Structure 1
C-alpha cells in the first residue's frame, strides 16, 4: 500500500525539513544529510508510506500505533525536540500546518493532546 495523498505528502515534507534542520545544526554535513540522518529520513519516509491511517492519520506523536522501532522513535524524538522550535522561522507554513493537523485530528477523535 502506498500513501500519496496531500496529508501524507505534507507530513513527509515536514519530517524531511526537521531532519535537515537537525543535521545542519548538529552534524554540519557539507553535502546535505549525513549518513545517520539519511538513514533516519529514509526510515521515516517508509513509515509514512505504509501508515495504516493514510490521509486520516494524526501527527505521529499522538498516534495510538507506534510503528517506529524504539531506537528510531527516540532518534526522531531528539530531532523534533531540536528542530521543532526552529521550524517556525525556517518553514513557518509547514510548522503551523503540523500543529493544526495535530489539533484538528485530535479534536475529531476527541483525544486530548496531553504531550
Structure 2
C-alpha cells in the first residue's frame, strides 16, 4: 500500500471538517449544502496547486496565502468549529492531524 502524500491527507482532513460543520449547521441528510460543497472544491483545488507540495507547512503559517479573503474567513469558521470536535467523531484522524 502506497503512503499518502501530505496534500492527500490534508484533503481528507479538510473534507471531514467541512462535512462535520455542514452536518451540524446546514444539512442533516448526509450531503453537503451548495456553500459547503463550493468551499470543499475550493480548498481541494488550492491544496492541489500548492507550490510547496509535500513540504508545505500549515496554511496558517504559510507566507503565500492562496485563499481569497472571503474563503479564508469561511475555512477559519469551519476549522474553529470542527477542529475540537474531530476528537469525538474521528479520534484517530484527529491525533494524526496533530
Q: TM-score, normalised by structure 1?
A: 0.78
* 1:25-82, Cα deviation, whole Å (9 max, x unpaired): 0002425100000000000000000000100111111211110000000000000011
Query: When the two structures are aligned, how many residues end up with a matched partner?
Result: 95
- Write the distance in 2 (CA, Å) between the matches of 1:35 and 1:57: 29
Q: Contact between 1:8 and 1:54, CA under 8 Å: does it hold in 2?
A: yes
Q: Contact between 1:18 and 1:84, CA under 8 Å: does it hold in 2?
A: yes
Q: Contact between 1:10 and 1:94, CA under 8 Å: does it hold in 2?
A: no
Please state how far the C-alpha of 1:93 moved relative to its aligned partner. Answer: 2.2
Q: TM-score, normalised by structure 2?
A: 0.90
1:92 corresponds to: 91
SS of 2:71's equivalent in the other structure is helix
1:63 corresponds to: 62
| Counterpart mapping for 1:24-43 below 5 A | 24-43=23-42
1:53 corresponds to: 52
Structural RMSD (CA): 1.2
